[in-house]
Amino acid sequence: MITRRRRAALVLAGVLTAAAACQAGRHDRADHDRADQARAGRPAPSAARGFTLVATGDILPHRSVIDRAAFDAGGTGHDFRPMLAGVEPLVSRADLALCHLETVYGANGDYTGDRTFKSPPELAPGLAATGYDDCSTAADHSLDDGAPGIQRTLDALDRAGVRHAGTARTEAEADSVTLLPAGPANVAHLAYTDSLNGLALPPGEPWAVDLIDPARILADARAARRAGADVVVVSLHWGTPWQDGADQRQTDLARQLTAARTRGRPDVDLILGTHAHVPQPYEKVNGTWVVYGLGDQIAGDMNNDQGVQDPRANESTAARFTFAPPARPGERWQVSRAEFVPQWFDVDAGRVVDVGEAVARGADLTGVRDRIRDVVLGRGAGKDGLTMGR
């Protein structure tokens, strides 16, 4: 029998192998895509064929995670790059890669990772080095350090070259559209949260965090379309923590948002959910893909709502969608391929692990892989073409 420590060692060996390969020489994303497609026996994508989008789950650095990043930095600051090295190939090969940053950044060593969260700002360059282009920042912890926390977080992301959506430093920023290039397309990223954990928005700054309101979301989506968005992606921090299935609020809102159309074209092209701490199903609703919950990509050991340590908090998925351009200008970009990639955060090694790659190397993670697969496909997404990717 492989113990958890032994399993971590096996997984870590795989991660270090992947990291070494990355250090040996990074190719551009198009080269990666062509190699992947060739190995899979599929023709290489071209600008005429569209783009790939990868999205991953909550980044929630508990104290153990912060301590690990300090160790990886060799005693000076914090280094999150080794923690994410195992998923760098998946993330960096996408035309557009989105993360969800659930916490704000602290200052002058004041970092916390329990109940209220203030993370080291070195997380931002770690995300950039992994290949993330943009992060949603609207979450229940967005106000854990008030307006200064939002300011520091967005400043750090800007310095690292990572775009963001969901929180703002000024009203003008809140009113702007986060428009991102993805191959031949322009993608708008909107982000909202259902909760601020009872905290009030900063005085005079009602725009600091985008809150879930269906009318507001649809108005923003239509504004994004007018600003030139070919594809509109909406990130929602919602759902019931520790619940594998989508709750009524999620399913009702998903139906409402995906049903909205302007001149026959859907206002929202993809919904990405976070917050529940566990993976939740994918589902095609009104012809639009909805990810109810990606799970926690990075988190320490957590107790669930029954007060019991729950390993599901370290399970997540990466969503990968391939978009194809419309046959005629002004029509919808269609998802031609929908995939989920199981991930696991090894809390002992402090590493995010691509479960499929780890299993192929002999790690005892088949149970994790199968549980994630069963949850993700729990609302029938398989019949609509969702597959487990690598």
Q: Please provide the DSSP assignment of 49-62 as one string.
A: G-EEEEEEEEEE--
CA 216, CA 270: separation in Å to the nearest integer? 17
CATH number of the domain enclosing 61: 3.60.21
> For position 48, what pLDDT does the model report?
65
Beta-ladder partners of 119:
105
**pTM exceeds cut of 0.85:** yes
Question: Which of 81, 102, 104 lies closest to 91 in space, CA to CA?
Answer: 81
Beta strands 163-165; 134-136: pairing state: parallel
pLDDT per residue as tens, the chain (390 positions)? 333 333 333 333 343 334 333 333 333 444 444 344 433 333 344 446 799 999 999 999 999 999 999 999 998 999 999 999 999 999 999 999 999 999 999 999 999 999 999 999 999 999 999 999 999 999 999 999 999 999 999 999 999 999 999 999 999 999 999 999 999 999 999 999 999 999 999 999 999 999 999 999 999 999 999 999 999 999 999 999 999 999 999 999 999 999 999 999 999 999 999 999 999 999 999 999 999 999 999 999 999 999 999 999 999 999 999 999 999 988 999 999 999 999 999 999 999 999 999 999 999 999 999 999 999 999 999 999 999 998
Are the beta carbons of 372 and 355 closer than 8 angstroms?
Answer: yes
Residue 189 structural domain:
4-388
Q: Is the dihedral of CA 327, 332, 333, 335 positive or negative?
A: negative
Beta-ladder partners of 231:
187
Q: Which helix (H) or strand (E) holds 188?
A: strand 185-193
Three-state SS for 87? helix
Are the beta carbons of 103 and 144 closer than 8 angstroms?
Answer: yes
Beta strands 351-354; 315-324: pairing state: unpaired
The tally of domains found in the chain comes to 1
Q: Which residue has the tokens 């322009």?
A: 186
> For position 179, what pLDDT does the model report?
98
> For position 236, what pLDDT does the model report?
99
